[in-house]
């Protein structure tokens, strides 16, 4: 029974880790694609002056910041750092709403689930994936399981 529980825990851990890496790729890819013609988001192209491409550049900065923070977290094995990153990504939903309101521009509604998904993925990864791996358990046959 203990071996089965460890296998289930390992499977859940691998699913969380895989989802986290997918979320990182989606976040960085979505942000970088926002400055190209093949963007998955629609930005108000009628803006001129100081607001011209402002939101798109913010997305590029976010992609670069994500790469640095995730790289640092993985290098130092400081996975709980991703909890804070996740909360900030979720706060982006409200920040975008505020940005659109004060600048009187429409914000693409696809950005909201985008930041919610990536933020929740970071939080779950930070909470449930410890830096050290699951313990190995010896079975009566001598095979080691994680």
The pLDDT of residue 57 is 82
Query: pLDDT (tens digit, 9 = 90+) per residue, 50-108?
Result: 565 777 788 889 899 999 999 998 898 888 899 999 999 999 989 888 988 887 777 77
d(CA 21, CA 17): 6
Look over the chain and give the mean of its residue pLDDT values, rounded to a whole number.
81
The pLDDT of residue 131 is 59
pLDDT above 80 for 35: no
Is 141:131 a contact under the CB 8 Å cutoff? no
Nearest Cα to Cα of residue 124 among 47, 37, 18? 18
pLDDT above 60 for 130: yes
Is 139:3 a contact under the CB 8 Å cutoff? yes
Half-sphere exposure of 105 (CA within 13 A, CB side): 18
The pLDDT of residue 88 is 94
* Torsion angle of the four alpha carbons 50, 32, 40, 49, in this order, in degrees rounded to the nearest 10: 10
When pLDDT is averaged across residues 12-35 and rounded to a whole number, the result is: 88
The pLDDT of residue 51 is 61
d(CA 118, CA 127): 14
């Amino acid at each position: 029974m203990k071996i089965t529980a460890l296998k289930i825990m390992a499977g859940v851990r691998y699913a969380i880790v895989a989802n986290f890496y997918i979320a990182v790729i989606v976040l960085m890819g979505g942000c970088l694609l926002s400055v190209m013609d093949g963007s998955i988001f629609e930005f108000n192209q009628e803006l001129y002056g100081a607001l011209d491409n402002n939101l798109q550049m913010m997305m590029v900065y976010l992609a670069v910041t994500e790469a640095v923070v995730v790289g640092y977290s993985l290098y130092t094995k400081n996975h709980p750092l991703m909890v804070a990153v996740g909360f900030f990504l979720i706060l982006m939903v409200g920040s975008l709403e505020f940005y659109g309101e004060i600048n009187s521009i429409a914000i693409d509604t696809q950005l909201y689930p985008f930041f919610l998904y990536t933020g929740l993925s970071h939080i779950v990864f930070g909470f449930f994936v410890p830096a050290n791996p699951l313990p190995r358990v010896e079975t009566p046959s001598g095979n080691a399981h994680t």
